Amino acid sequence: MKMIESFRIPDETAVTQWRGDFPILAQQVHGKPLVYLDNGATTQKPASVIEAERAYYMRTNANVHRGVHQLSQRATEHYEAARARIARFINAKHPEEIVFVRGTTEAINLVAQSDVRSRVGAGDEILISAMEHHSNIVPWQFVCAQTGAQLKVVPIDDTGTLDLAAYERMLGERTRIVAISHISNALGTINPVARIVELARARGVPVLLDGAQAVAHARVDVQALDCDFYAFSGHKAYGPTGIGVLYAKASRLEAMPPWQGGGDMIRSVTFEKTEYNAIPWKFEAGTPNIAGAIGLAAALDYIDAIGIDVISTHEADLLAYATEAVRRLPQVRLIGTAREKAAIVSFVHESIHAHDIGSILDHEGVAVRAGHHCAMPVMQRFGVPATVRASFALYNTRDDVDALIRAMAKVQEIFDA
């Protein structure tokens, strides 16, 4: 990630303090200290997040928006306070622009089915990129199959950088939405999202940004970006699993029909007619993940207490250190070398499969991701079946990188034996 000049790299004492906030990091795996480098899949949770969920269940547990009793009123207050907290974190104009979902995947599916499906037809185009996660491919394939629209894919170059000139050319009269990741989960590429939105906006095309890999690592300001939709998952931002966020401009949410029916998304129901609730609640059918929303708000409090710019600077240092260390490994090739990158290092070995590497690293106490990372088209683009991915978070250190390199020496030793 780009260095931020006004922030110094946190010293060892600060990072040690951060690590102490995460109980899971104190354990051993296969008799070795845990080195957790699979943050692109999910981040670990600080004690404050765990306590926020525990406190909800211990003292507040009740359903929201339904009861007149004290517990229900208190639960509703905490739940809606979490919505407002998230709105502030990404600088949404109104809390009502925040829809709680299970995660990024559900958020994108919601937009695909509620917003896009009804306004596209045969010959219309949906524009994505060649670096997308399956969650930002398959929902659009559903829409194309349902409507006759066409899926168009913006290419990437050999470094994993989006071809912005091609993107601009591909924006056309039939483009109905652009859906592109802010940061690639497989390559670490940071896309020029401000320019992506600007070019689309000039042609009247709405934009959805997949922010699953961005929210915990870079400053996100949805008003400054002027995107129509922004989606992210709590569990990749030090929050609970099963909770996520769809940000959408209020005007778009007002125009979108609900995509699920049931409790809490209604104002009144008869057998003849149903009147829907106001936004955002008309998109939140059924009992929501109340504890998850409260836990996510606590996670964002934790990020803000450290400072997203401080975190970004620390991770940029780790990225530079890890990239150079991995580059020196024999028979290893980096996959994803874009100039603008987040703290993700993906690589392949010339003669050892990624799954074998991942298994040996695990026995050395080092947790990485080995596979296609739910981005099979990316693997096809680079002609590899899988990569080893080390992805970093605020609690990782250069010592963790050194542990990865030592474990890779063990891999080489085993296969050379």
Catalytic positions, written as ranges = 374
Within 10 A of 152 (CB to CB), how many other CB atoms are there?
18
Pairing outcome for strands 207-210 and 150-154:
unpaired
- Give the gyration radius of the chain's Cα atoms: 22
* Residue of 17, 20, 49 whose CA lies nearest to 234: 49
Tokens 């509620």 locate to 114
Distance from C-alpha of 402 to C-alpha of 31, rounded to nearest angstrom = 18
Backbone angles phi, psi at 239, to 5 degrees: -105, -175
Whole-number Å distance between alpha carbons of 133 and 109: 13
DSSP 8-class letter at 385: S
Report cis status (omega within 30 of 0) of the bond before 10.
no
Q: Which two tokens stand for residue 195?
A: 């320019």
For the chain, the residue count is 417
3-class secondary-structure state, position 258: coil
Q: Name the token pair of 20.
A: 């102490």
DSSP 97: G
Q: Name the phi and psi angles at 40, rounded to 5.
A: -65, -25
Distance CA 252, CA 404 (A): 46
Helix (H, G, I), strand (E, B) or coil at 175: strand
